[in-house]
Amino acid sequence: MQDIATDTTWVEAAPVSAFEADGGRAVLINGTQIAVYYFADENQWYATDNMCPHRGQQALSRGMTGTEGDEPKVACPFHKKTFSLKSGKCLSGDEYTIKTYPVKIENETVFIGV
Amino acid sequence: MDTKKQKLIVVGNGMTGYKFCEKFVEKGLGEKYEIIVFGEEPWAAYDRVHLTDYYTGTSIYDLKLAPRTWYEENNITLLTSAKIVEINREQKEVTAQDGKAYAYDTLILSTGSSAFVPPIPGIDKEGVFVYRTIEDLEAIKAYIPKATKAAVIGGGLLGLEAAKAVMDDGLKTAVVEFAPRLMPRQLDDAGSQMLQAELEKLDLEILLSKSTRQIAGNGKVEAMEFADETTLEVDMVVVSAGIKPRDELAAKAGLEVGPRGGIVVDNKNQTSDPNIFAIGECALSNGMIWGLVAPCYDMAEVTASNLAGDDKTFDGADLSTKLKLIGIEVASFGDAFGQTDGAKPIVYQNLTNGLYKKIFVSEDKQRLLGGILVGDTSDYNMLFQTYKSALKLPAAPESMVMSGIEGGGMEISVLDLPDEAVICSCENVTKKRLVEAIDEHEITNVGQIKKCTKAGTGCGGCMPMLDDLFTAKLAASGKVVKKVICEHFDYTRQELFDLIKIGGIKTYPELLKKYGKGKGCELCKPVAASLLASIWNEFITKHSTIQDSNDKFLANIQKGGTYSVVPRIPGGEITPDKLIAIGAVAKKYDLYTKITGGQRIDLFGARVEELPLIWKELIDAGFESGHAYGKSLRTVKSCVGSTWCRYGQQDSVSFAIKVEERYKGLRSPHKLKGGVSGCIRECAEARGKDFGIIATEKGYNLYVCGNGGANPKHALLFATDIDEDTCIKYLDRFLMYYVRTAGPLVRTAKWLEQLDGGLDYLKQVVIEDSLGLGEELEADMQKIIDTFQCEWRSVVESPEQLKKFRPFVNAGATDDSIKFVPMRDQKRPANWDEIVTAEKVSEPA
């Protein structure tokens, strides 16, 4: 999340309280569905496309989060394809990549960089 | 630097061309070469072997061997929709369709093959198709609504695949083969007859020894006329009669081609021009065209290795195959026809269940030469390895075709194989490599072996062997093969059960902190959720983030992202008023309704935000959650029983309701189903359930550990002529013992199979109380029963809980990506390809 280009537009998503600790929720930003994940212990936030590229389902925000080694990940609830929340790369052996977005918290509000 | 690099051009981006790119990257050839790949199709290389999957709905994305970004990341320039039309060997240049020329130092031709179309009069009529590329399949699909009956020319592998695809689309289909048998290269007459009989059962017409004289019709296909004066009326013909190497580009450039096609290459894949190589199906190597994936991949690897400075050769390959054709397993390996001198056949044939196994052993009965398997290929891997590694045969070689038959089965273990035995032939991975990988990487599951060796990532046929090898290897090294949950918990499910129960652990973070590591994952979270529910029976939404999607939203997620709703209808008994209530709700929310196999009604197509509204109405009408979303008790199915049925011996409906009400809400390692039948006629199909109760004159017989599904098992007789109270006591103990000791997602039948001592042991524990656990198990069950609450009632009464049922946290909007299409006066979710527009599929170059 360090290499954010200066032309990132920060869009206000929702108050921190609207999200779920150690889980995901979807937000709608300019018509695009984005999944936002919150790892409460480390106070880490991640955001990715909500769509799983495997079957095109808008589902990742409804998946379970976790780690593989040190890599934070989410598992699609449909067929359990897992994706790194850092790189967006599929971790379960397929050649998919999902888009990731930078997240920042200001005044107890979650902003997504698009 | 770049200017010093040599220029490498690859013509063709099919499976072989892609494999070459993969090897190019693997061997670091990018240091030495600048590479451009030309593909004439609009998309990057895809998996042609699984083309039929595309036909049945798999998207092109899933068939892709690698996304475009992969080529970019590896500095491979990929130009698609770019056909090369000329090679200028003097200038060392190729010219693309658009007239642009590209210089090369080394040229690789992997132009593949096209469908061989026999020169039959009328073959150009409307309604004749070939079965080769994605465009071919799209054309076939588009024509099918206009057709009523199809013929497929060619009874080989691909022909039968094509026939299945067309037949699945609802067309009456016939296969027309010139040879006197199906799959003439792989099967003998008896094997072909067995396959034919099985295919005919599926309503596929098979015509053998048919030489097509012409395709008749006025402009479009109307009939096929054969040399034997017979005709077959069809309005569509799919040609799948073999392949023809694409050698026209090479031939035009003056490279040597074979008399019957194919670019002539030596065993280093070099053509008659030392700067040009040909690999895959376009090459004529060792006197033949190699039309299977594995040898083509070998050729790609040989050429890439040699460019990297190795000295490898391709000297032909084994053409053994194993595949599933229209659900029928077929395999053939080695000398399948017994042409070796002195070859002795051993045959096992069973006409009633469609099994045919024939192997050839050497004259001295010491070695396996080859064989054919139809109907069951579970022994293929071991047989193939035994043949390939020339292992010494057991004293009674006939045991090798008798697996599954008393006294039969393979006696050779996977660990007996020599190091050089190739276990995964797609990726060319040897046993030695696998064993080393297991040792070096401290591998703890088969998935990791796949990842670090690539074994099992091709056709997947070697997966059972990988499993065996892994288990045998760990067992041999003295390690206990423990079925731990995942990388976060070094415990089995049963161990976690005890840790949670004894340690009084109430939440997942607590469990993870105390006994686990990392942040958990999609494997351990639902296991923990199930255990916490089985032990403490607290409201499951308290542990919302560790529930699988279905348990999180208390509904079953379905295609398209909507949910289905199943209210409990105990024993399948329902009043007219309640039926009307369900109907009214379904109508109001426009839900698709279907009667389930468990005697209840499933309502599909509910949006996440509608779930609480729907449930509010159902609860007001007197319904409760049916727990269809949980790994928990689903239904107890019943027949109408002695109250109405003139044969009934006991009141099966009342007992089924009593049992279902008792165990509703019980969370278990996998779903649980029950059944109660009022007499021996067994109309409730209780023996296909985890527990089945069948009325007798004196009481009930109790059966346990059955299931339907992929591996149907009849439940086994557990106790005879018992009364209702005894039956419930046994069930309490049986179910709780299962909940405690089974692995995750293991149903009762499989659990019993794995239980040391089997059914007799289970009877001792439950009936004779040999472990002294009886009272404890009953008390645990009683606690679950006493603390039952309808999850949906709790949700609709809690404003806090309701917040979760919104598609987006930042907008009141509904999810407009959800689309439905009408079907038989109701609706169904739109398929992926019905949502994605055509331009998206043919991604921009």
Could you report the per-residue pLDDT of B302-355, keeping only the tens digit for each?
Answer: 999 999 999 999 988 777 787 777 778 899 998 888 888 888 888 888 877 788
Using the Cβ of A82 and the Cβ atoms of chain B, whether some distance falls under 8 Å is answered with yes
Which H, E and C letters describe B32-72, residue by residue?
A: CEEEEEECCCCCCCECHHHHHHHHCCCCHHHHECCCHHHHH
Instruction: Supply B377's token pair.
Output: 């290929």
Using the Cβ of A41 and the Cβ atoms of chain B, whether some distance falls under 8 Å is answered with yes
Confidence check: pLDDT of B797 > 80: yes
Confidence check: pLDDT of B253 > 90: yes
Q: Which residues of chain A neighbour B817 with C-beta distances below 8 Å?
A: 33, 51, 58
Q: Which residues of chain A neighbour B70 with C-beta distances below 8 Å?
A: 95
Residue pairs spanning A and B at CB distance below 8 A = 112
What is the number of residues in chain A? 114
Predicted confidence at residue B495, as pLDDT, reads 84
Chain A interface mutation, best of B521, B563, B629, B745, highest count of A Cβ atoms under 10 Å: B521
Distance in angstroms between the alpha carbons of the first and the last residue of chain A: 13
Predicted confidence at residue B230, as pLDDT, reads 93
Could you report the per-residue pLDDT of B60-79, keeping only the tens digit for each?
Answer: 666 778 888 899 999 999 99
Give the 3-state secondary structure of residue A44.
Answer: strand
Could you report the per-residue pLDDT of A56-74, keeping only the tens digit for each?
Answer: 888 999 999 999 888 999 9
Reported CATH class of domain A10-113: mainly beta
Using the Cβ of A23 and the Cβ atoms of chain B, whether some distance falls under 8 Å is answered with yes
Using the Cβ of A33 and the Cβ atoms of chain B, whether some distance falls under 8 Å is answered with yes
Predicted confidence at residue B841, as pLDDT, reads 37
Inside any domain, residue B390 = no
Predicted confidence at residue B273, as pLDDT, reads 95
Of A13, A55, A63, the CB nearest to B832: A55
Confidence check: pLDDT of B58 > 80: no
Q: Which residues of chain A neighbour B62 with C-beta distances below 8 Å?
A: 54
Asked if residue B668 and residue B586 are part of one domain, the reply reads yes
Mean pLDDT of B789-796: 88
Predicted confidence at residue B843, as pLDDT, reads 40
Shortest Cα distance from B788 to chain A (angstroms)?
26
Predicted confidence at residue B64, as pLDDT, reads 76
Give the 3-state secondary structure of residue B180.
Answer: coil
Contact B663, B699 (CB under 8 A): no
Q: What is the DSSP letter of B546?
A: G
CA dihedral sign, ordered B747, B751, B752, B753: positive
Q: Looking at B528, B547, B566, which one is the last position of a domain?
A: B547
Of B525, B817, B836, the CB nearest to A66: B525
The CATH number of whichever domain residue B173 belongs to comes to 3.50.50.60
DSSP calls for B665-697: T-B-SS-EEEEEESSTT-TT-GGGSSEEEEE-S
Instruction: Supply B16's token pair.
Output: 């072989």
Chain B interface mutation, best of A62, A86, A91, A98, highest count of B Cβ atoms under 10 Å: A62
- Taking an 8 Å cut-off on Cβ atoms, the answer to whether B545 and A22 are in contact is yes
Rounded to the nearest angstrom, the gap between the alpha carbon of residue B103 and the centroid of all alpha carbons in its chain is: 44
Q: List CB contacts of B163: < 8 A, sequence separation 6 or more.
A: B152, B173, B175, B204, B238, B326
Shortest Cα distance from A6 to chain B (angstroms)?
24
Predicted confidence at residue B560, as pLDDT, reads 85
Inside any domain, residue B330 = no
Instruction: Supply B684's token pair.
Output: 């409730």
Q: Which residues of chain A neighbour B815 with C-beta distances below 8 Å?
A: 33, 58
Q: What is the DSSP letter of B602?
A: E
Shortest Cα distance from B479 to chain A (angstroms)?
23
Rounded CA-CA distance B628/B630 in Å is 6
Contact B165, B132 (CB under 8 A): no
Predicted confidence at residue B761, as pLDDT, reads 87
Helical axes B463-476 vs B431-440, angle rounded to 10°: 50
Predicted confidence at residue B126, as pLDDT, reads 93
Asked if residue B744 and residue B653 are part of one domain, the reply reads yes
Confidence check: pLDDT of B222 > 50: yes
| Tally of domains within chain B | 4
Using the Cβ of A89 and the Cβ atoms of chain B, whether some distance falls under 8 Å is answered with no
Q: Looking at B748, B765, B786, which one is the last position of a domain?
A: B786
- Taking an 8 Å cut-off on Cβ atoms, the answer to whether B560 and A57 are in contact is yes
Confidence check: pLDDT of B840 > 70: no
Asked if residue B252 and residue B182 are part of one domain, the reply reads no
Could you report the per-residue pLDDT of A2-48, keeping only the tens digit for each?
Answer: 444 556 888 888 899 889 888 999 998 888 899 999 998 888 999 99
Confidence check: pLDDT of B117 > 50: yes
Confidence check: pLDDT of B136 > 90: no
Confidence check: pLDDT of B449 > 70: yes
- Taking an 8 Å cut-off on Cβ atoms, the answer to whether B549 and A59 are in contact is yes
Mean pLDDT score of chain B: 87
Confidence check: pLDDT of B1 > 50: no
Chain B interface mutation, best of A64, A67, A91, A101, highest count of B Cβ atoms under 10 Å: A64
Q: How confident is the model at residue B845 (pLDDT cuts 50, 70, 90)?
A: very low
- Taking an 8 Å cut-off on Cβ atoms, the answer to whether B549 and A14 are in contact is no
- Taking an 8 Å cut-off on Cβ atoms, the answer to whether B522 and A64 are in contact is yes
Using the Cβ of A65 and the Cβ atoms of chain B, whether some distance falls under 8 Å is answered with yes
Proportion of chain B above pLDDT 90, given as a percent: 46
Mean pLDDT of B449-465: 75
- Taking an 8 Å cut-off on Cβ atoms, the answer to whether A95 and B64 are in contact is yes
Confidence check: pLDDT of B384 > 70: yes
Predicted confidence at residue B371, as pLDDT, reads 92
Mean pLDDT of B46-55: 69
Contact B794, A13 (CB under 8 A): no
Residue with tokens 């936030």: A45
Rounded to the nearest angstrom, the gap between the alpha carbon of residue B95 and the centroid of all alpha carbons in its chain is: 42
Predicted confidence at residue B545, as pLDDT, reads 81
Confidence check: pLDDT of B410 > 60: no
Using the Cβ of A111 and the Cβ atoms of chain B, whether some distance falls under 8 Å is answered with no
Using the Cβ of A79 and the Cβ atoms of chain B, whether some distance falls under 8 Å is answered with no
Asked if residue B588 and residue B541 are part of one domain, the reply reads no
Using the Cβ of A102 and the Cβ atoms of chain B, whether some distance falls under 8 Å is answered with no
- Taking an 8 Å cut-off on Cβ atoms, the answer to whether B519 and A78 are in contact is no
Shortest Cα distance from A98 to chain B (angstroms)?
12
- Taking an 8 Å cut-off on Cβ atoms, the answer to whether A77 and B557 are in contact is yes
Rounded CA-CA distance B9/B38 in Å is 8
Q: How confident is the model at residue B499 (pLDDT cuts 50, 70, 90)?
A: confident
Rounded CA-CA distance A53/A30 in Å is 20
Residue ranges per structural domain of chain A: 10-113
Of B59, B509, B521, the CB nearest to A68: B521
Could you report the per-residue pLDDT of B542-570, keeping only the tens digit for each?
Answer: 777 888 878 888 999 988 889 999 999 99
Inside any domain, residue B340 = no
Confidence check: pLDDT of B231 > 60: yes
Asked if residue B47 and residue B182 are part of one domain, the reply reads no
Shortest Cα distance from B519 to chain A (angstroms)?
5
Q: Which residues of chain B neighbour A69 with C-beta distances below 8 Å?
A: 487, 518
Residue bearing the bigger pLDDT, B442 or A45: A45
Of A20, A57, A96, the CB nearest to B545: A20
Contact B659, B572 (CB under 8 A): no
Q: How confident is the model at residue B482 (pLDDT cuts 50, 70, 90)?
A: low
- Taking an 8 Å cut-off on Cβ atoms, the answer to whether B488 and A66 are in contact is yes
* Nearest-Cα residue of chain B relative to residue A91: B451
Q: Which residues of chain B neighbour A89 with C-beta distances below 8 Å?
A: none
Predicted confidence at residue B708, as pLDDT, reads 85
Of A13, A14, A63, the CB nearest to B549: A63
Q: List CB contacts of B264: < 8 A, sequence separation 6 or more.
A: B255, B256, B257, B258, B271, B272, B284
Q: Is B791 exposed, middle or buried (0-12, 13-18, 19+ CB in 10 A)?
A: buried
The CATH number of whichever domain residue B691 belongs to comes to 3.30.413.10
Inside any domain, residue B271 = yes
Q: Looking at B269, B287, B307, which one is the last position of a domain?
A: B307
Contact B174, B232 (CB under 8 A): yes
Of B457, B522, B561, the CB nearest to A59: B561
Could you report the per-residue pLDDT of B265-316, keeping only the tens digit for each?
Answer: 999 999 999 999 999 999 999 888 888 888 899 999 999 999 999 999 998 8
Predicted confidence at residue B701, as pLDDT, reads 94
Q: What is the DSSP letter of B714?
A: P
Instruction: Supply B193's token pair.
Output: 């007859």
Could you report the per-residue pLDDT of B560-603, keeping only the tens digit for each?
Answer: 889 999 999 999 999 999 999 999 999 999 999 999 989 999 99
Chain A interface mutation, best of B489, B519, B801, B805, highest count of A Cβ atoms under 10 Å: B519
* Complex-level ipTM: 0.85
Q: List CB contacts of B745: < 8 A, sequence separation 6 or more.
A: B631, B669, B670
Predicted confidence at residue B419, as pLDDT, reads 81
Could you report the per-residue pLDDT of B611-651, keeping only the tens digit for each?
Answer: 999 999 999 999 999 999 989 999 999 999 999 998 889 99
Q: State the CB neighbour count (10 A cutoff) for residue B576.
A: 7
Q: Which residues of chain A neighbour B521 with C-beta distances below 8 Å?
A: 64, 66-68, 73, 75, 82
Chain B interface mutation, best of A10, A16, A17, A28, highest count of B Cβ atoms under 10 Å: A28
Residue bearing the bigger pLDDT, B126 or B394: B126
Task: Tell me the helix, strand and coil percentages in chain B, rounded to 5.
Answer: 35, 20, 40
Domain span holding position B625: 556-786
